Amino acid sequence: MQASPSQFTTIVMPALNEEHYIAEAIRSLLPADDTVDFELLVLDGGSTDCTRRIVEGIVASNSRVKFIHNPRRTQSAAMNIGAEICDPRTAILLRADCHAVYPPGFVENCVDALGSAASSSVVVSMRAVGKTPVQKAIAAAQNSKLGNGGSRHRGASQSGYVDHGHHAAFDRATFRSLGGYDESAPFNEDAEFDARLAQSGGRIYLDSRSIIDYFPRSSFSSLAKQYYRHGWGRANTLVKHGMRPKLRQVLPVVILLTFVLATVAWPFVGAIALLPPAGYLALCLTWGVFLAFRFRQPELALAGLAAVIMHLSWAAGFLRRAFETKSERSLRLRSGEA
């Protein structure tokens, strides 16, 4: 089924210092004018690099693209602002990230799936790709079950209804009726929205036709910060909605606690206490070396280290938010608010 041109679509692209990615992302994303009626709003959170100049160059040659300042800076705010200021004809909102390249027909497929699947939201799969040696290693980790825990939207998957995925398209009326993204929580806004959507009776459809190529962080330090935020946000969502964590979300926490317990026990029982974390490190690092030999790409030897950073950083963020929410709840109980 071809997308209906009558369903006006607003593509919202949050941006912040994306000079290395945004031009390619926009070029790959723009649909043909005769397939769907659309506008593309780049919501910039205050870029200090050449992002604005690059986008303004595109705006000069394509009136459908607009550069808009996002004073609240976050991705959540960008989507909420876009939902408010978009063309009044807008029936469908589409979220697009700068760190990605989109397959042909991406917008058309999302619009089509939103209608044909009778869903409130369409999500897509993503595969990580790299340009630099470190980015390629990180991408390999993110594409593997060791790195993503078997998350359905991380890689090729069959179409069908899911509880979460990489956000793509929304029915605008539904998005606004649920209050959009929760801007009080700076991370994991997509999963938090999906929880509210499911509670309201909405359905989320994974469209397997539209797998995007995602460019991960290009340094281990930025990867650690990103996954710390992911873990913090996931804990916040679970606590807010009274949800139970999945096994893939529990395992990184177990790994981090194993490191902590081994460090504490070491002075008392000796080196034997270090065997569990040492075994985990050996497994991850050996896996990275295996990848390097299998694909004849030496840089992939760093994939094991990337996986370790992802696991431990995610767990640290998760535990911090879990302890924060427990403390906040205790304070409310003492003050008689709950």
Q: What is the pLDDT of residue 3?
A: 41
- Whether 4 is covered by a domain: the verdict is no
Average pLDDT, whole number, for the chain? 93
Same domain, 74 and 177: yes
- Whether 224 is covered by a domain: the verdict is no
Residue with tokens 């459809």: 205
Same domain, 190 and 265: no
Same domain, 127 and 270: no
- Check pLDDT > 90 for residue 335: no
Same domain, 52 and 155: yes
Q: Looking at this protein, which amino acid is placed at residue 338?
A: A
Phi (first) and psi of residue 216, to 5 degrees: -75, 180
- Check pLDDT > 70 for residue 284: yes
- Whether 207 is covered by a domain: the verdict is yes
- Whether 242 is covered by a domain: the verdict is yes
Number of independent structural domains in the chain: 2
Same domain, 41 and 172: yes
Same domain, 70 and 198: yes
- Residue 318, both tokens: 């998760």
Q: What is the pLDDT of residue 334?
A: 64
Residue with tokens 């909605």: 241
Angle between helices 220-241 and 303-334 (to 10 degrees): 40
- C-alpha angle 45-47-50 in degrees, rounded to nearest 5: 145
Q: What is the pLDDT of residue 1?
A: 38
Same domain, 133 and 15: yes
Beta bridge partner(s), residue 124: 166
Q: What is the pLDDT of residue 336?
A: 63
Query: Mean pLDDT, to the nearest integer, of 324-337?
Result: 70
Same domain, 176 and 244: no
Same domain, 35 and 170: yes
Same domain, 197 and 242: no
- Whether 231 is covered by a domain: the verdict is no
- Residue 169, both tokens: 């398209």
Same domain, 189 and 158: yes
Q: What is the pLDDT of residue 193?
A: 96
Cβ neighbors of 335 (< 8 A, separation 6 or more) are none
- Whether 223 is covered by a domain: the verdict is no
Confidence of residue 104 (pLDDT cuts 50, 70, 90): very high
Q: What is the pLDDT of residue 158?
A: 84
- Whether 229 is covered by a domain: the verdict is no
Q: Domain of residue 327: give its range.
A: 238-334
Lowest average pLDDT, out of 79-88, 158-167, 193-202, 313-322, goes to 158-167
3-state secondary structure the chain: CCCCCCCCEEEEEEECCCCCCHHHHHHHHCCCCCCCCEEEEEEECCCCCCHHHHHHHHHHHCCCEEEEECCCCCHHHHHHHHHHHCCCCCCEEEECCCCEECCCCHHHHHHHHHHHCCCCEEEECEEECCCCHHHHHHHHHHHCHHHHCCCCCECCCCCEEECCCEEEEEEHHHHHHCCCCCCCCCCCHHHHHHHHHHHCCCCEEECCCCCEEECCCCCHHHHHHHHHHHHHHHHHHHHHHCCCCCHHHHHHHHHHHHHHHHHHHHHHHHHHHHHHHHHHHHHHHHHHHHHHHHHCCHHHHHHHHHHHHHHHHHHHHHHHHHHHHHHHHHHHHHCCCC
Q: What is the pLDDT of residue 35?
A: 84
Tens-place pLDDT, residues 136-182: 999 999 999 999 987 777 766 789 999 988 999 999 999 999 999 99
Cβ(165)–Cβ(125) below 8 Å: yes
CATH assignment at residue 129:
3.90.550.10
Cβ(14)–Cβ(70) below 8 Å: yes
- Whether 125 is covered by a domain: the verdict is yes
Tens-place pLDDT, residues 16-73: 999 999 999 999 999 977 789 999 999 999 999 999 999 999 999 999 999 999 999 9
Query: Mean pLDDT, to the nearest integer, of 100-106?
Result: 96
Q: What is the pLDDT of residue 156?
A: 64
Q: What is the pLDDT of residue 249?
A: 95
Same domain, 276 and 307: yes
β-strands 204-206, 92-95: how paired?
unpaired
